[in-house]
Amino acid sequence: MSYFDYAATTPIDHDSLEVFTKVSKEFWGNPSSLHEIGGKSEGLLQRCRETLADILHVPSKGIYFTSGGTEGNHLALLTLGLSRQDKGKHIILSSGEHSSLHSSALFLEKLGFTITRIPLTSQGLVDVPKLKEAITNETTIVSIGHINGEIGSIQPLKQIKALLDGSCILLHSDMVQSFGKLPLEDVTSIVDSFTVSSHKIYGPKGVGAVYINPSLDVYPYLPEQTHEGGYRGGTVNVPGIAGFVTAASKFNAHTFDHYKGLRQHFFSCLDEHLPGKYTCYEAPEDAQLPHLIGLSIHGLEGQWLMLECNRSGFSISTGSACQVGKQGLSRTLTSMGVSSRESKEFIRISFGKETTEKQVEDLVITLSTIHTNTLSSLT
């Protein structure tokens, strides 16, 4: 099976797995316990926190380990929103945010918050003028994901931050899709909170982190929790965290060039085998993550095409794995103004470090064969 769904999850890195196994055996104590065995785990946990903070170029005091990006987004939006509700109860997010942020926003709406959802342009970028128009005296939080998880567009966080300068509005960003793919120091330094996840970067599943600027006057949204500075409950997953930080430490900027080459090769093959028979949804090159491709093959429903590819030995997707099983159309494409018919044709292809040009060629040939056979059967 050739895997083209790295935006959903990645296989665990060998070194990360070795560290996970070693820590599971040797650091099995609860880091909150006061005895020596617990203290040993606590020491490792704090070293992991400091290492991740160094990688992200933020103070370690603001790092809180979570079970992944979804929990991190819930924790961030609810913490910031509820902590600032005396200043206002208006939150802005883009329509293309991860489902976890839309879920948190719906919860806050039930508590009396007003949520404004900003559409995306036809290139998958948040409509900044409309965001500016949406800001009111009641606005306290803006949440814009760094990378759109369905088409890979890189959102203009610096431009948005400049828009918010001089106000008391906080900026949160879901950086799950960009962490491990891009250098982040330019953006982690300008946001007030962000989330990252382990299993997107070849680390163990069920681990992630949220950063909340420690200078902010905020408090946990659930009272009397006993772990991670009171921001969450449940025994901390020290082995998973150690594996996560190991994977994060292996970031290699050269993979960007690898992904860029694969993307160019993919479209070159598409133009050879399916000329004029596909639509790619993407941002300008300087605002596009190269390893993630959102497109449609004309005349083929995306879910059916995914199943046919699976039968032929290729794993692709129809968007975020967190949305699979839902009947609604892609939030991203709907927000971009793509018709429901075209949205139903959408598929997502994403590359990993292991992806080869030969695999890319074979995938395109398979897509072309499925397209040809399908049209032949209809005539």
Q: Which residues are known catalytic residues? A: 322
Contact criterion met (CB below 8 Å) for 285 and 375: no
Q: What strand order describes the sheet that includes 292-297?
A: 278-281, 292-297, 346-350
CA angle 103, 92, 285 (to 5 degrees): 95
Reported as type and span, the H/E element at residue 361 is helix 357-378
- The count of residues in the chain is 379
Contact criterion met (CB below 8 Å) for 335 and 95: yes
Contact criterion met (CB below 8 Å) for 284 and 123: yes
DSSP structure string for 33-48: --SHHHHHHHHHHHHH
For residue 194, the SS3 value is: strand
What sections of 135-282 are H helices per DSSP? 157-164, 185-188, 238-248, 255-273
Residue 363 CA, distance from chain mean position: 24
Please, which residues bridge with residue 116 across strands? Answer: 92
Give the single-character DSSP code of 323: G
CA angle 69, 236, 67 (to 5 degrees): 15
